[in-house]
A and B are shown apart, each in its own frame.
Chain A
């Protein structure tokens, strides 16, 4: 089961998808912003910024970024359910000395 954020604008939704899939590159909590073209942009849920410099994050419409930020709690909650071993609230260092 994938968590997909339904984009409100139909013209945007034709070309873009915002998803957390059950098997992502699990190095840092993120949401995948998938473009119809060749690009997937990873938006970090801890840093609230794009994780990669390429593809150029400036290609992502501001409306999509605003929509992600408006639904951040929902995204963080779903990431936590899907990736309990790597929750957004963890800073990694916190579990160091158990």
Chain B
């Protein structure tokens, strides 16, 4: 469970509650002193702001050093005020022209106030030139995913990054007609998420062979897709019949799976 507080100004929290958002678990701040205290005393925090002009004006009267706090702006803000926020927050998202397409507001607040906000996405921005997506997790941590990572299946639509959004209450990334599970993305890109997900399985196979099999299937590969290694050999490793696969074999398997040899066991 996350230990980072979600902070917002009291008057904004009241407005969000009126709009139907469940903000009971948020820590609300009722004046500029409380804002300053939160920014200086708390090591990290996630902020949500409807009217960041008000919040920025609170910051203007104090000298606050850059912090590890992150903030999501739900409404536009002037350039000048944006710079003020950027001087005080590690990461500011939702500002003018940052390109993020966010979840509907009520769903977004729901994700941010959940027990594991980082396990769902609240926004996405596509950078087609760089060939990557920036996914915004509910704890306001960005995650960069190359477009080449998404599997393509013959006869089915390819991902369309020009039409990307987060749906299903943060559980699905949609790109045109293509949909990818948030947990599939996190499983591959976040070792801590992977560790937790493995622990939740009913039938846990923590062997090296089990991990190799899961990773191979996650990559959409058959046992015959490893040049220089027979399908039979891969099957023997997956069944645990090879007690210590040779380092060269492991290196070649890892290369095809696009991981380091020592990472295979974590899947």
Contacts and interface: CB of A to CB of B under 8 A. Distances in A.
B179 A27 contact: no
A87 to B, nearest CB: 11
B200 interface: yes
A37 B169 contact: yes
Contact of B180 (A23, A35, A92): A23
Nearest to A21: B179
Contact of B201 (A21, A36, A53): A53
A63 to B, nearest CB: 20
Interface string A28-60: 100010111110100000000111111000000
B179 A22 contact: yes
Interface string B183-194: 111010000000
B114 A51 contact: no
Interface stretch (B46-54, B60-68, B211-219, B250-258): B211-219
A40 B239 contact: no
Given A53-B201, A95-B223, A26 B218 contact: yes
Interface of A: 1-2, 17, 19, 21-28, 32, 34-38, 40, 49-54, 81-86, 92-93, 95-98
19 contacts: A21-B172, A21-B179, A24-B181, A24-B184, A25-B181, A26-B184, A26-B217, A32-B181, A34-B172, A38-B111, A51-B201, A51-B203, A53-B201, A53-B202, A83-B220, A86-B217, A86-B220, A93-B239, A97-B232
Interface of B: 110-111, 114-116, 119-120, 150-151, 153, 155-157, 168-169, 171-172, 177-181, 183-185, 187, 197, 200-203, 213-214, 217-218, 220-224, 231-232, 235, 238-239
